[in-house]
Amino acid sequence: MSVAINKADGILVIEFDRADKKNAITAVMYQLMADAIADGERDPEVRALLFQGKPEVFTAGNDLDDFLRTPPKGADSPVYQFMRNLSQASKPVIAAVAGPAVGIGTTMLLHCDLVYAADNARFSMPFTQLGLCPEFASSALLPQMAGYHRAAEKLLLGEAFSAEEALQMGLVNKVLPVGELASYARARALALAALPASSLRITKRLMKSTQVQTLPAVIAEEASHFSAMLTAPEAKEAFTAFFEKRKADFSKFS
Ligand code: COA
Q: Is residue 120 part of a domain?
A: yes
CA of 60 from ligand 1 middle (Å) equals 6
Q: Is residue 219 part of a domain?
A: no
Which pLDDT tens digit goes with each residue over 83-122? Answer: 999 999 999 999 999 999 999 999 999 999 999 999 999 9
Give the pLDDT of residue 112. 98
Give the pLDDT of residue 137. 97
Residue 161's nearest CA partner among 248, 101, 97 is: 101
Q: What is the CATH number of the domain that holds 150?
A: 3.90.226.10
Q: Is residue 224 part of a domain?
A: no
Give the residue whose CA is nearest to atom 15 of ligand 1: 21
Index of the ligand 1 atom closest to the CA of residue 64: 1
Give the pLDDT of residue 77. 94
CA of 21 from ligand 1 middle (Å) equals 6
Q: Is residue 38 part of a domain?
A: yes
To test the ligand 1 pocket, which listed residue (2, 16, 22) has its Cβ within 8 A of the most ligand atoms? 22
Which pLDDT tens digit goes with each residue over 152-197? Answer: 999 999 999 999 999 999 999 999 999 999 999 999 999 999 999 9
CA of 72 from ligand 1 middle (Å) equals 19
Give the pLDDT of residue 10. 98
Read off the pLDDT of each residue in 41-64 and give the average, rounded to a whole number: 98
Read off the pLDDT of each residue in 20-49 and give the average, rounded to a whole number: 98
Q: Is residue 25 part of a domain?
A: yes
- For the question of whether the overall pTM of this predicted structure is more than 0.85, the answer is yes
Residue range(s) defining the domain that contains residue 132: 3-178
Q: Is residue 206 part of a domain?
A: no
Question: Cβ contacts of residue 88 below 8 Å, gap of 6+?
Answer: none
Give the pLDDT of residue 131. 97
Q: Is residue 246 part of a domain?
A: no
Give the residue whose CA is nearest to atom 11 of ligand 1: 21
Chain-centre distance for alpha carbon 103: 7
Which pLDDT tens digit goes with each residue over 53-81? Answer: 999 999 999 999 998 888 888 889 999 99
Tell whether the model's pLDDT for residue 14 goes beyond 80.
yes
Which pLDDT tens digit goes with each residue over 120-154? Answer: 999 999 999 999 999 999 999 999 999 999 999 99
Which residues, judged by CB distance below 6 Å to any ligand atom, belong to the binding site of ligand 1? 21-22, 24, 60-65, 100, 102-103, 126, 130, 242
For the chain, what is the domain count? 1
When pLDDT is cut at 50, 70 and 90, the band that residue 1 belongs to is low
Distance from C-alpha of 214 to C-alpha of 206, rounded to nearest angstrom: 14
CA of 14 from ligand 1 middle (Å) equals 21
Q: Is residue 209 part of a domain?
A: no
DSSP-based three-state secondary structure for 123: strand
> What's at 96, amino acid-wise?
A
